[in-house]
Amino acid sequence: MKLRCSFSSRQPHFAFCFAVFWLLSLTFGALAQDRLTTKDGKTQDVKILGVNGSTVQIRVGAGSIGIPLASIASVTMAAPAELAAANTAYQAGDYAKALPLAQSVDAKYKGLPTYWARQATSLLGDIQVALGKLPEAEAAYNDFQRIYPGAGNLQSSVGMARIAVARKQYDEAKAKLGPIAAAALKEIKPNPEHAPAYSHVFLLLGQIAEAQGQTEIALENYLRTVTLFHEDGNAVAAAQEKANTLRKNDPTLTVP
């Protein structure tokens, strides 16, 4: 059985399709592993198969139905193992291994309203930068901004600053990062959507300062990522490693 309901709140069969989804999700509840809440407040335990265009595919029996992304308020779902493997490879500097892993998660779940799906799309750009594939990285960051217009605007700006750093265009990068850093330092509790981007902001500012011989400022920014804006594990790992290296090279180094 393969059910395909193309949902739209403007179509008359929307209520019928949602009723089918509701009843069958109860019938096959034993298969459910994830939780989906729609914008009308209804929550169901389901099995999410992936994202197909503008819909989230949900398992129903031996088939599937599609729920419009636009109708979904939130999703609770464990991150796929491929993303953890991609992060591990990225932190180890094995970018060739990290790339296909991140691409597989991005291709299957891009647009899903979860932190880890957003991270996979953003990570794809970061890996491309590390590989020196800057046009591809720029495309990935622009894609992130299009798909996640809230968090995506900020993350895309940080991504473009990352590209500028890779090109050693430090003044351009600082012009992008400076206002974001100033806003982050004023927030008592960072917005959860913005916090991962803040982790990278101070990592990048540290890299710029280090490249310009300002080691104390570099250390301060690395430690900001480690201690204050530590929501992104990849940024924290990189910042901690760089801070350790600075201190090893100069044991007397302190922050301003």
Assign residue 102 the CATH number of its domain. 1.25.40.10
Estimate the crossing angle of helix 233-249 against helix 81-91, to 10 degrees. Answer: 20
Phi first, then psi: give them for residue 56, nearest 5 degrees.
-100, 125
What pLDDT band is residue 61 in, cutting at 50, 70 and 90?
confident
35 three-class SS: strand
Q: Within 10 A of 251 (CB to CB), how many other CB atoms are there?
A: 6
- Which of the listed residues 59, 76, 93 is the one where a domain comes to its end? 76
What pLDDT band is residue 243 in, cutting at 50, 70 and 90?
very high
18-32, 68-82, 108-122: least confidently modelled range: 18-32
Would you say residue 112 has pLDDT above 60? yes
d(CA 97, CA 208): 27
Query: In this structure, are residues 106 and 114 in contact, taking their beta carbons and an 8 Å threshold?
Result: no
Judgement on whether residues 39 and 90 belong to the same structural domain of the protein: no
Please check whether residue 3 lies inside any domain of the structure.
no
**Alpha-carbon distance values, 192 to 2, 22, 124, 232, 235 (Å):** 38, 31, 20, 11, 16
Q: What is the mean pLDDT of residues 52-56?
A: 92
DSSP state of 173: H
Q: Which residue has the tokens 């970061």?
A: 126
Buried b (16+ CB within 10 A) or exposed e, 204-237: bbbbbbbeeeebebbbbbbbbbbeebbbbbbbbb
Judgement on whether residues 93 and 200 belong to the same structural domain of the protein: yes
Judgement on whether residues 104 and 223 belong to the same structural domain of the protein: yes
pLDDT at position 135, please?
A: 95
Judgement on whether residues 68 and 89 belong to the same structural domain of the protein: no
d(CA 208, CA 195): 20
Please check whether residue 255 lies inside any domain of the structure.
no
Judgement on whether residues 57 and 104 belong to the same structural domain of the protein: no
9-18, 153-162, 182-191, 199-208: least confidently modelled range: 9-18
β-pairing verdict for 48-52 and 63-68: unpaired
DSSP state of 52: E
- Which of the listed residues 26, 51, 76 is the one where a domain comes to its end? 76
* Global confidence as pTM: 0.80
CATH number at residue 26: 2.30.30.100
With vertex at residue 69, the alpha carbon angle to CA 72 and CA 48, rounded to the nearest 5 degrees, is 80
* Structural domain span for residue 29: 14-76
- Reading the block at residue 139, the tokens are 């495309």
Please check whether residue 172 lies inside any domain of the structure.
yes
Judgement on whether residues 49 and 104 belong to the same structural domain of the protein: no
pLDDT at position 151, please?
A: 64
Judgement on whether residues 205 and 181 belong to the same structural domain of the protein: yes
Please check whether residue 140 lies inside any domain of the structure.
yes
127-131, 136-140, 151-155, 250-254: least confidently modelled range: 151-155
Q: How many domains does the chain have?
A: 2
**pLDDT above 70 coverage of the chain, percent:** 87
Judgement on whether residues 65 and 148 belong to the same structural domain of the protein: no
Would you say residue 5 has pLDDT above 70? no
Query: In this structure, are residues 219 and 247 in contact, taking their beta carbons and an 8 Å threshold?
Result: yes
